Amino acid sequence: MKPHNSLKQYRIGVLGPQGTYSEKAALIWCRERIDATLVYFPDFDYILDSVRQGLIEAGIVPVENSLEGAVTAVMDLLLRLDVVIVGEVNLPIRHCLIGQGGGEIKVILSHPQALAQCRQYLHEHYPEAEIRTTGSTSHAARLAQEFPEMAAIAGQDAADRYGLAILAREIQDAGDNTTRFIVVAREGVGPSGRDKTSLVIYLDRDRPGALYSILEEFARRNINLTRIESRPSRKGLGDYYFYIDLEGHMQDQKVGEAVAAARDKAAMVKVLGSYPRA
């Protein structure tokens, strides 16, 4: 997929088709950019790789959800691809069950994350329905236009866009359902005074206190870690990458010193970006 090339446009890649939560997060992030235009992609890999190639100026993808945790596909892509996080958006997620209405619902479609966030509702209300995964919530809504026995889990915006009725509201398993979206680009941004930095650390060898000795470098400099999560390295059982978010910017002296000290103790430290906190 090659988006339209225009020097006058700031092209932002989002998960499509129109009506996704990614689109909503992008509109929030770029509301002050009159030159912004959205480009729709079929999956997160396409978005981030298009940023890497310079086909678009930025991309917005979900990285974690308050109910289901990390979006692991995005975490793996951030490790592999040469892109930089430059911003974030925390978006409240309010799922609806949408469809044509008027008939028995036999099939329910949505993105795997949305289905997981509504697991309890589906078990209680539609235990016999066939559950199918789609590439996005809006893709599910578009498919639900075709047959009355199909319904989709998506937002109200998708229902409005595709002319579907809202059959049930607020069907997520907890009221406080929030997804954190990150904005990625090819080049980083300077300090804003209220920043966050994201890292990936690989230890390479398992020894007592190895992770603690690295985290200690941040603690002794009073740097607050806001998130730490492990992902399998795929090199063997028990071998992990550690994803860390911390307060501050790489240009802050104490953050720079802590990361430099961590590099001395770890096999690999990749800075994913420093950016304004949501």
Q: Which residues are catalytic?
A: 179, 181
> What is the rounded distance in angstroms from the CA atom of residue 180 to the CA atom of residue 176?
13
Residue 69: is it exposed, middle or buried by C-beta count within 10 angstroms (0-12/13-18/19+)? exposed
Residue 216: both structure tokens together: 């200690």
> What is the rounded distance in angstroms from the CA atom of residue 226 to the CA atom of residue 219?
12
> What is the rounded distance in angstroms from the CA atom of residue 243 to the CA atom of residue 199?
6
Angle among Cα 203, 206, 212 to the nearest 5 degrees reads 65
